[in-house]
Structure 1
Amino acid sequence: MVVVEVLIVLALIALNGVLALSELAIVSARRARLKAMAAKGNRGASAALLLAKNPGRFLSSVQIGITLVGILAGAFSGATLAERFAGFLVTKGLGIELADTVAFVLVVAVTTYLSLIMGELVPKQIALRNAEGVAARVARPMMMLARIASPLVTLLDLSSQAMLRLFGQRGEPEQQVTEEEINTLVAEAASTGVVEPAEHAMIASVMRLGDRPVRAVMTHRRDVHWLDLDADEAAKRKTLLEAHHSRLPVAHGTIDEVIGVLDLKEVLDACLENRPIDWNALIRKAPVVHENIDALDAIEIFKSSKAHLALVVDEYGTFEGLVTTGDILASIAGQFHEGGDEASPGATPRADGSWLVDGAMPVDEMAALLHLSLPAPRDYDTAAGLALDQLRRLPKAGETFTAYGWRFEIVDLDGRRIDKILATRLPAEE
């Protein structure tokens, strides 16, 4: 008889563990994975999705089961087992009152210990290790439990909703995945080797690309190689020989008078076929985009254009630069060497923990590197823009400013352009 009662208590503790496991698994399971499993025909995953959509009723069902199990386990252990164990202690010479106290304390202690280990901690750890798999296995039994206890579940759910309204909590909780959560998930995958470091860097770059205006990835007008259509033939050929790109914008006299794009291959074809070069006939129209459109929108423009190059203008129609498919790719995969161009070094670590930052480095990349929390929106796109925003004037070499827990020193100027910045983390006390 005692063995049966012990087995009943153990079974109740195990049932409590199943309920606790089910609760945590379904609540913590990722819906995206459950949807993928359901798409493959996993009926348990479909049931888990239904339970996750209405967590109030599911939690009420589980709580009813846990409460009943706890009451029954307490009744068996405290009343039945403690009484039998007290009788056993009396036969060993203990007084009745002392035997009752010792038996009650020992039985409650052992039952509590087993409830914590078998009924809570171990099941919940199992649920956390494979939330989606466990949720798919227990979802259908949990739905059956909810149907059996439907009247009581409805009462508890309505009571809970009423109490939530008293605290100002209305509607269902929003299930949103933030960009920070995606970045954290990818970083965890990279740390465990599931995602390669290069893949991690590219995914982070793609995430940043959606927040960048096209001016942040374009080639500025001062760095644009262009062909002057009004120049003489020798000057035009010299420009083509010195060009490091396969396509050049063409303008009349000044870069502000851009009229289109020239494909150097077509010029080469004319030369190889000994045909006279008709410059006007070779000029192709290029799409014109505003500097504030998203870089991702530029990709859609490139898909519908054969130019692979777009002219960037400001709100007054002034030419500000150009953006190419190569610029978009470089913002994702990093800079490439092309011809005689020198790739921007970005940021170089130094032995003392500081960073030598190129002024043209995209400020969002610098923020990710130095773990800065920059305001959004902002009116600058480069590290040099951050310096100008903080100083509010053109600095001199050697000037410093502090921001976001770092000290920034203007190391070098190229005319009126900030070329190099030295970033040093401030001590914690500062």
Structure 2
Amino acid sequence: MSTQQSLFLIVVLIVASGFFSMAEIALAASRRIRLRQLAADGDQRAPKVLQMQEQPGDYFTVVQVAQNGIAILGGIIGEGAFSPFISSVLAHWLDSNHASTLGFWISFLLITSLFILFSDILPKRLSMVEPERVAMRVYRPMLLVITLLKPLVWFYSKISDLVFKVLGLPMLRDERITSEDILAMTEAGTQAGILAQNEQRVIANLFDLDNRLVTSAMTARDRIAFFLQNDSDALIRARIGAEPYSTYPVCDRDIDHVIGYVDAQDLLQRALNNQPISLSDDSLLQKALVIPDRLSLAETLEQFRQAGEDFAVVVNEYSLVVGVVTLNDVMSTVMGDLIGPDDEELIVQRDEHSWLIDGITPIEDVVHALHIDEFPHFEDYDTMAGFLMVMLRRIPRRTDSVNWGGYKFEVMDVDSYRIDQVLVTRLCAEGQEPTEQETANLGAPAP
């Protein structure tokens, strides 16, 4: 075989190997969501590629057989084409044995470099740019090759299937889309400028509904404005003016005996019409939805939907009222910063390295604000105050502090046993994560 013929065959082999490299990466990297979109747009090739992705055994068997065969053949032809020529050139300076050996290695490196560059790196990089488009273009030629090599494909596929079964490996790719996949896509969309950051935050908050308890969104017990059933007209009117809310629980004797609720609009209508307000009036009192405090926000939404209500009383396992929650509270958790800030923000950033956080702030909001990966014993508490109690192992006092995740959490104000304000400061030097015993700095009792 002449040198020109050998060179021509090497070029053909490089092109063929490049084709199979493109076909391999294109099928593996093609996104099913993108292929489904192309199929919905009427591209008839996209469903074929999707079908091939579901059963890729024959496809990749052909690729491997072809690539290995081409590589071996390329080495044989390349050595015969380049080695004699290079050896003859080197023979002018070296003896024949050394020239032959060195010529062989130079020929080997040359052929290997050509195959690596033009049949591996460049085709695969091209396929990674637009894998779906490449996969649809190479689909029909690959079907032809699979048909031509059917006996070999069947033989190697059966052997590989047997090995998979013996090792207990999965035969099919799991194509289920998880919430983590969707969140990763939205984060990528935000980085690419396709999604606004607030929009991505709303989507993330939606997926958090299953993980956040209703206690993270409710109005806590000590902040509930409620009426007793025997409250006078004057007292009711005064409380509405002092504590304007949309809904008020109505209780018998104390807050732990809720008998219903009243809508502020109904009370206002009576006040404007100069009608007396009596909570014993059945036309005013509505039955309250009561839910346990262990429900997630997603389950709370389902309870609202089933009951046709937008207000619920939250009780613990001892049937004590721990708070109230409205549909608006849940939706505010989802919308986050897209709706206006509350009159009293729970998290106030003082500067780049410090925050003032209310003790009742849900711990999930603290995680988002400070970008801390996780808090210790996360399942044992719901709020900032709960975190400090768990870490200190007692009721916190003013000046008590805890270091965690590169931040210092210092109790600034305590009202009776309630933690009002916590000062969070970013530590300048973040070293190894301290242990629980090292993180708690106990302050003296407030004078």
Look up the equivalent residue of 1:240 and give its one-letter code: I
Q: Report if aligned partners of 1:47, 1:140 keep a CA contact under 8 Å in 2.
A: no
User: Structure 2: how far apart are the matches of 1:413 and 1:141?
Assistant: 75
User: In the alignment, is the contact (CA less than 8 A) between 1:228 and 1:254 conserved in 2?
Assistant: yes
Partner of residue 71, structure 2: 70
CA distance in 1 between counterparts of 2:348 and 2:20 reads: 53
Find the counterpart in structure 2 of residue 309 from structure 1: 311
The letter of the residue matching 1:297 is: E
Match of 2:320 among 311, 318, 321: 318
Please name the residue that 1:401 is paired with: 402
Q: Give the Cα–Cα distance (whole angstroms) in 2 for the partners of residues 270 and 263 of structure 1.
A: 11
* Structure 1 position 366 matched with structure 2 position 383: no
Q: What is the aligned partner in structure 2 of residue 225 from structure 1?
A: 225
CA distance in 2, matches of 1:347, 1:80: 75
Q: What is aligned with 1:36? A: 37
Partner Cα separation in structure 2 for residue 401 and residue 376 of structure 1: 14
Task: Decide whether aligned partners of structure 1 residues 106 and 178 sit closer, same or farther in structure 2, where only a CA change above 3 A counts.
Answer: same
Contact 1:26–1:131 (Cα < 8 Å) also in 2? yes
Distance in 1 (CA, whole Å) between partners of 2:385 and 2:146 is 61
Distance change in 2, residues 1:56/1:428 (3 Å): farther
Change (3 A) 1:91 1:105: closer
Alignment of 1:74-223 (within 5 A): 74-83=75-84, 85-86=85-86, 89=89, 100-101=100-101, 103-223=103-223
1-side partners of 2:415 and 2:152: how far apart? 76
Letter in 1 for 2:67: I
SS in 2 for 1:256: coil
Q: Aligned pair count?
A: 426
Give the letter aligned to residue 55 of structure 1.
P
* Partner AA of 2:313 in structure 1: L
Q: CA RMSD in A?
A: 3.0
With 302-311 and 269-278 compared, the bigger mean Cα shift is at 269-278
Q: Distance in 2 between matches of 1:349 and 1:201?
A: 22
Q: 1:164 to 1:383 in 2, by over 3 A?
A: same
Q: Is 1:17 matched with 2:18?
A: yes
- Report the TM-score when normalising by structure 2: 0.84
User: 2:380 is paired with a residue of what secondary structure?
Assistant: coil
CA shift for structure 1 position 291: 1.3
Alignment partners' CA distance in 1, 2:416 and 2:181: 42
Structure 1 residues 354 and 4, CA, compared in 2 at 3 Å: closer, same or farther?
farther
Once the two structures are superposed, what CA deviation does each residue of 1:368-404 show, in whole Å capped at 9, x if it has no partner? 4332234687021112211112222111111223344
1:334 aligns with 2:325: no
Residue number in structure 2 paired with 1:291: 293
What corresponds to 2:384 in structure 1?
Answer: 383
Q: In structure 2, what is the Cα distance between the partners aligned to 1:178 and 1:374?
A: 24
Q: Answer with 192-201 or 162-171: which moved more.
A: 162-171
Instruction: Summarize the Cα distance change of 1:110–1:184 in structure 2 as closer, same or farther, 3 Å threshold.
Output: same
Tell me: CA distance 1:58–1:392, structure 2 relative to 1, closer, same or farther (3 Å): farther
Over 3 Å counting, the alpha-carbon distance change for 1:316 and 1:345 in structure 2 is closer
Matched position secondary structure for 2:202? helix
Shift of 1:274: 4.8
Per the TM alignment, residue 231 of structure 1 is displaced from its structure 2 partner at its CA by: 0.9
* Further displaced range: 386-395 or 34-43: 34-43
Counterpart code for 1:70: A
Pick closer, same or farther for the CA change 1:421–1:222 going to 2, 3 Å.
Answer: same
Q: Is there any run of 5+ residues in structure 2 with no aligned partner, and where?
A: 434-447
Deviates more, 1:59-68 or 1:177-186: 177-186
Q: CA offsets per residue over residues 259-312 of structure 1, 9 Å max, x none? A: 222222223333444555464212222322221112012223333445321221
Q: Is the 8 A contact 2:7 2:81 kept in 1?
A: no
Separation in 2 of the partners of 1:417 and 1:147? 76
Counterpart for residue 427 of structure 1:
430
Aligned CA distance change for structure 1 residues 32 and 258 (closer, same or farther; 3 Å): same
Distance change (3 Å), C-alpha of 1:344 and 1:18: same
The code of the aligned residue for 1:396 comes to: R
* Percent identical: 27
Q: Structure 2 CA distance, aligned partners of 1:422 and 1:90?
A: 74
Scaled by the length of structure 1, what TM-score is found? Answer: 0.87
Residue in 2 that maps onto 1:8 = 9
Runs of 5+ unmatched residues, structure 1: none
